[in-house]
Amino acid sequence: LRGWPRWRPLLVHVTPLVLIFALVVVAMTAGWATPTESAALGALASFIVCLLYGRLTLPNLIKALSGTAAISGVILFIIIGASTFAQILAFSGATDGLVATIRDGNYSAWTVLLLMMALLLVLGCFVDQVSMMLMTLPFFMPLMQHFGWDPLWFGVMYLICMQLGLLTPPFGMLLFTMRSVAPKSIPTSTIFAAVTPYVLFGLAMLVLVMLVPGVATWLPKLMLGK
């Protein structure tokens, strides 16, 4: 195929997705909406596109809403459990005890940092990102202050580990997203194998930021005039 027949599927089916993505990103970066509000804008834009393309049938709407309710319910219970866990740790003194043990154990900063990043990578395989934050930040923040790490540098590494959790089997959210849109003839194992290069690149990025903090801190500090 050449000419318009070749490019028509791209313009008709891909362009709306790109525009929805751009709407969400621009709304957040320009300060027009919070991340939650930007997600709502993306959902509204998707609704409008489905309406314009004639795909907004009652069965499709019910299927989308039921799937959303199921996923939201699972995430809600995970957040409730993680929040309860974090509160129990805080009130029982376990958080302070563990932090004090590490402080008094004469562990090197690099050893503690590597263990923290490894823990995040393992957790990313099994729990969602919000739960990771609720379970780990009560431990990590006092240690970050104790070792005098740059919060921006540590935060970037933390976010890299969290985004890797979206790609790592068996419960990476993006893997399930790809499974839902991929043809049924493609096995799940193929999807798992396809993300391997991206996981390796993410790990390489994590190591680079860890060894060269300026990669993460240079531009923000330049923007802030520091």
Domain extents in the chain: 94-223
**Residue-level pLDDT at 204:** 95
**Residue-level pLDDT at 226:** 67
**Residue-level pLDDT at 155:** 93
Average pLDDT, the chain: 85
176 φ/ψ angles, rounded to the nearest 5 degrees: -70, -35
**Residue-level pLDDT at 108:** 87
Task: Look at 123 and 94; give whichever has higher pLDDT.
Answer: 123
161 pLDDT band, cuts 50/70/90, is very high
**Residue-level pLDDT at 94:** 75
Residue 209 has pLDDT above 90, yes or no: yes
Q: Taking residues 100-122, what's their average pLDDT? A: 87
Q: Report the alpha-carbon angle 101-107-110, nearest 5.
A: 130
**Residue-level pLDDT at 160:** 94
Is the bond preceding 170 in cis, omega lying within 30 degrees of 0?
Answer: yes
| Cα 115 versus chain centre, distance | 20
- The pTM score is 0.69
**Residue-level pLDDT at 116:** 93
